[in-house]
Structure 1
Amino acid sequence: MVNMPLTRREFAALTAGGILSSQWLVKPSAYAEAKATSPDSQPAETTRSVTLLHFTDTHAQLETHWDYLPGQLPAFQQMGGFARLKTAIDREIKASQGPVFVADGGDEFQGSGPAAWSRGEVILDPLNALGADVFVPGNWEPVYGPARFRELMSRLKAQVTCFNFHEKSTGHRIFPPASIIEKDGCRIAFVGLTDLKASDRHSPDEFAGLDTSRLNGLSEFLNDLKSKERVTLIVGLFHTGLTVARYLAREFPKFDIILSGHTHERTTQSIIEGKTIIVESAGMGSFLGRLDVELNAGNEIVAHRFRLIEVSAANTPENPVVKQLVDENLKPYRERANTVVGRTVTPIMRYDVLETSADDFITDALRDETNVDIAFSNGFRFGLPIPAGNITVGDLWNLLPMDARIKVGWVTGRQLKDYLENELELVYSPDPKRLSGGWGPRASGMMMRYSMRAGQGKRVQEVHVGGKILDETERYTVASCERSGEPLDVICRIRGVHDVTFAPQTIHQALITYFQKHPVISPSREGRAYADDLAPVVFSQDSILSEGQRGSYQAWGM
């Protein structure tokens, strides 16, 4: 814990030591103006220090893996893994002088082959060993169905909190709306929120009987936490996405701090909305967020510093206890996960908002198997990069951590255009309440040019299918994965698809078949989706949506 201001030399040393950014904000008036003071400034009054450690969206990446750090040399580095993350957590706790609270932002039980094959079982022991105090369920936690979801949550050692996870039929809340944790006289209320659209956007079978859309009574609840529970701080532990978190901070200004997750944003400095401090600590276990706050005698935040710490294999050794737990849990699945299925000449990546080589490869394989005009992929945010070299079964499941039957049908050009407009609105809407947090639709066989700022229903400028301009009266065959529980005539959220049938293979079987035909691939971005008013490569959704707003920040990779 740093309870004295950093000198410029100390600041430079921290930055060189794997910390991406650091910022002090001093004096309450600075919050209203959203201005940062010099790192050499110091609170004038006696204060006490509190530290919040935050990780989120590890997506079941139990072991050290490749990650992409644009602007660094090399750009691909070995990062993360639960054993290294535990070391990073312990190291930061040891370096603190005040109470330390460890918060987990969710999306931990889905994202890899072993997680899917064990229905989340391989994650439990290593996750509990990280020692989080509080946990908010992410949108992917119910991926194995409602019953398994409840079971996994009941076996966590961390306190599970979520204000907006309800039973659909009764309206009863499934988890406590807040967890109040006290350490060394500091009493913090962690209020959990998960993706408000999760129960609508996910496969119906995953969220059967569950509802995440209700925020009724949140303002009154926050008032009671301050007046009746006498908490020191109200901390929002959000799995809503950064842009939505910023909107909620404006709507509910009682939050002192928001620890954001879901969109995997690497915020290299804190964001200020009103008096609320907001950070998002990336994902995949590659980073650990540390927020230090200084409180005066009235429990007002008078200064803070945020650091996004790299959990790098180069400077973060593995905790042996957690390493052993990971090895024991993964042992039954290693042979399957390590089976080589193909080879790539170019890196396979999924980071870009617009188009990714990972989804180009997946949709090419799907279209090759089904012989349709257009194959679609869900706009997943997560998925570790695969450097040039061998590709294993485990790599494929990291990119596509589910298997499903493949649906095939046809739509008119008009249906296709309406679908694209709706999907783009969910990605780029200026109204945060309409955002889903995902990226845009990715496809093979189709090229789309659009304008992000054109507004709802007017973004699509041009669509080509098979090299020809879209004809709204023409029929186009489409294919994508089934989402369990959805109506037969829905394919990748396109409604009213005609003459729907199932292909003989699942999506993962189609990928293996594709490698049998094409044992060496070299996917790259081809301009399948591009915007007239955006940069060719965009890594941050929030940075483009918040452009020109107060409290903006330098997003990663920009």
Structure 2
Amino acid sequence: MELRLIHMGDLHGHLVPRPHLRGDHPGLQGGLARLYTLVQRLRGEHGNALLMNTGDTVQGGAEALFTRGQAVVDVLDRFGIDAFAPGNWDYLYGKARFLELFGPGSDGHGGCRWGAVAANMFDADTGAALLPPWRLLDAGGVRVAVVGLSSERAINALGPWATEGIRFTGDAAELGPLLETIRNRETPDAIVLLSEFGLAKNLLIAERHPELAAVLSSDMHEETREPVVARSGVLVSEVGQDGTRVGQFDLLLDGGRVREWRYRLHVVDDTLDEDPAIAACVEAVRRPFVSGPGFRPHEDPISGAILQTPIDTIVGHACVGLHRSGFAQDPVPAAVHGTSSQYLAEAFRRQARADIGHMRGFRYGTHVAAGPIRLEDLYHYMPVGPQIAVGRVKGEAVLADLERSADGVFSPDPFKWTGGWLDAYAGLRFELDAGAPAHARIAEVHVQRYGQPGWMPLEPAAEYRVAGYWYSRQPGKIGSLDVGAAQVLRGEDGEVRDACDVVRDDLASAPADPDMAGIRLAAPLPAALHGNPEIQPLQGAMRPAGGP
């Protein structure tokens, strides 16, 4: 039996094409109208094709934020998605909104929109599963059981209220008994796992469960130009971010096992025509947000800030390309640093007149070429409704935060990762030894007090002003730092201003020209393990005992 799996994931709210500034395949990439053209072509070539979406879909841009995901859903409803495993960012708008979009009955026929499945997500009060753990699909006579694992963590950036009422399990312990039940009850021709655990963890899961045919992965934004074949024989793939890549598995099945396979990772670029109907739908959902008679103000559902400006408005200029996507062996590895996150940390620092600017190390974002910056670019970087505040912390807390961030990226145990890359810090310079033991990766930390020349060693007992993300639900916290009292940056009349408003002010005074000299790597990051370039080393960066 032959089966084709079409894999999309980590769209992060990108509706239209954006530049690709990393050295591989430069040019405009993505856009849902082009993505649909590719999906339809791949479907048309094969009678037994299934379209899978592996999560982090309805967050990542202004249109998604101000409609609580509806703008993205309205377009993707036309794609005919066969199965969907939600990611952590798909819970951004709260439990009730998540169930409204993807829970039972959300497809209008008693089922779940896009065939949503998750075996590890439960109601925190009743213990009941919020989504079916699996579903059986028929692809031209091929019986495919699709199992889902949602992200095993809440949304670290917002705090526990974003997933209030939901309980996640994080060790995939449900999978073994579930797979046995599926095999005995349904005897499918293939079992496919959709998992937002990320490529590194999904490889470990694939090793433990040889009964799987393939694991389609999201979360880390890695790009498997060739699938990783686990020692168990299970195939594992991940398809980048922003709808710029699509994976294609062609499987020859025999007795529930994969006998032969072919794989291709497609680039969604301008060699693909836009599908007219999808392009029209994208234009319609964007019309209330862009310049023209259809524009109207919108209220941020998280901060309450009001969007008064069309998102296609040019709000500043970039002296260099702004992005965070470098492979581990590139001059600027994304797991460590990026021009986009560094600039945002610097903008927070300047606008708050703080000693240190802090920006969480999110994996999502966009690419902005040197030149004009549009308001929608800022919302792709900051689509989660933060305000900006400034508060005081001790130097020892800053040091602990640096080590926490590094441990959460480079631990040799992927199940201890904290869901992002190294946080960005403006006003700090330090050395990073990613392969050092836990809590000992950071050294030679220096700080430049705001408005003062020169760099001085960070003093553990001294106080420093730090600026970064702030939410009213956690008033004593800025970014990942506990500050006690925080001063929130407001408008002239005391109105709420979100992080994008603050960065617009910064761009009005000077172009974006980030200082990339703040982090010095003590040693290169580990080389890739499976033939694909890696963004975040899949086994962390801990050196073996006695190693150099």
TM-score normalized by the length of structure 2: 0.85
Q: Which one of the candidate residues 49, 52, 65 is aligned to 2:5? A: 52
Unaligned residue ranges in structure 1 (runs of 5+): 1-47, 550-558
**Paired position in structure 2 for 1:545:** 539
Query: 1:531, CA displacement in angstroms?
Result: 2.5
Q: Which has the higher helix share?
A: 1
**Paired position in structure 2 for 1:475:** 463
CA distance in 2, matches of 1:150, 1:130: 20
CA distance in 2, matches of 1:415, 1:546: 24
Please list, as runs of the form range in 1=range in 2, the aligned pairs for 1:284-433 lying within 5 A after superposition.
284-296=242-254, 298-313=255-270, 315-335=271-291, 336-351=310-325, 352-433=334-415
Q: Which one of the candidate residues 139, 144, 159 is aligned to 2:88? A: 139
Unaligned residue ranges in structure 2 (runs of 5+): 108-112, 292-309, 326-333, 449-454, 491-496, 544-548
Q: Deviation digits for residues 38-60 of structure 1, max 9, x if unmatched? A: xxxxxxxxxx3211000001111
Q: Which one of the candidate residues 492, 495, 500 is aligned to 2:479? A: 492
SS of equivalent residue, structure 1 residue 473 = coil
Q: Deviation digits for residues 308-337 of structure 1, max 9, x if unmatched? A: 001111x11011111111111111111211
Alpha-carbon distance change, 309 to 356 in structure 1, aligned in 2, over 3 angstroms: same
SS of equivalent residue, structure 2 residue 392 = strand
Query: 1:473, CA displacement in angstroms?
Result: 1.6
Query: 1:507, CA displacement in angstroms?
Result: 1.5
**Paired position in structure 2 for 1:255:** 212
Query: 1:448, CA displacement in angstroms?
Result: 2.3
Q: Which one of the candidate residues 173, 177, 182 is aligned to 1:225? A: 182
CA distance in 2, matches of 1:473, 1:548: 30
- Is the 1:354–1:530 contact (alpha carbons within 8 Å) kept by the matching residues of 2? no
SS of equivalent residue, structure 2 residue 481 = coil
Query: 1:170, CA displacement in angstroms?
Result: 2.0
User: Which stretch has the larger CA shift, 503-512 or 388-397?
Assistant: 503-512
1:279 aligns with 2:237: yes
What is the number of residues matched between the two proteins? 492
Q: Which one of the candidate residues 489, 493, 496 is aligned to 1:503? A: 489
Tell me which amino acid in the other structure corresponds to 1:354: V
Query: 1:547, CA displacement in angstroms?
Result: 8.2
Alpha-carbon distance change, 479 to 164 in structure 1, aligned in 2, over 3 angstroms: same
Alpha-carbon distance change, 200 to 347 in structure 1, aligned in 2, over 3 angstroms: closer
Q: Which one of the candidate residues 90, 106, 128 is aligned to 2:55? A: 106
Tell me which amino acid in the other structure corresponds to 2:469: C
Please list, as runs of the form range in 1=range in 2, the aligned pairs for 1:527-538 lying within 5 A after superposition.
527-534=517-524
Tell me which amino acid in the other structure corresponds to 1:508: C
- Is the 1:82–1:130 contact (alpha carbons within 8 Å) kept by the matching residues of 2? no
CA distance in 2, matches of 1:224, 1:177: 12
**Paired position in structure 2 for 1:517:** 509
CA distance in 1, matches of 2:486, 2:527: 35
CA distance in 1, matches of 2:540, 2:387: 38
CA distance in 2, matches of 1:445, 1:331: 40
**Paired position in structure 2 for 1:39:** none
- Is the 2:53–2:81 contact (alpha carbons within 8 Å) kept by the matching residues of 1? yes
Q: Deviation digits for residues 104-136 of structure 1, max 9, x if unmatched? A: 111111111111122212112211111110111
- Is the 1:161–1:192 contact (alpha carbons within 8 Å) kept by the matching residues of 2? yes
Following superposition, which runs of at least 4 residues in structure 1 exceed 4 angstroms of deviation? 199-202, 535-539, 546-549
Query: 1:306, CA displacement in angstroms?
Result: 1.4
Q: Deviation digits for residues 448-469 of structure 1, max 9, x if unmatched? A: 2121111211111221111212
SS of equivalent residue, structure 2 residue 487 = strand
CA distance in 1, matches of 2:117, 2:369: 38
CA distance in 2, matches of 1:424, 1:127: 36
Q: Which one of the candidate residues 149, 158, 166 is aligned to 1:210? A: 166
Tell me which amino acid in the other structure corresponds to 1:531: L
CA distance in 2, matches of 1:261, 1:213: 17
Tell me the C-alpha RMSD between the 2 structures.
2.2
CA distance in 2, matches of 1:459, 1:292: 43
Query: 1:84, CA displacement in angstroms?
Result: 0.7
SS of equivalent residue, structure 2 residue 405 = helix
- Is the 1:203–1:484 contact (alpha carbons within 8 Å) kept by the matching residues of 2? no
**Paired position in structure 2 for 1:70:** 23
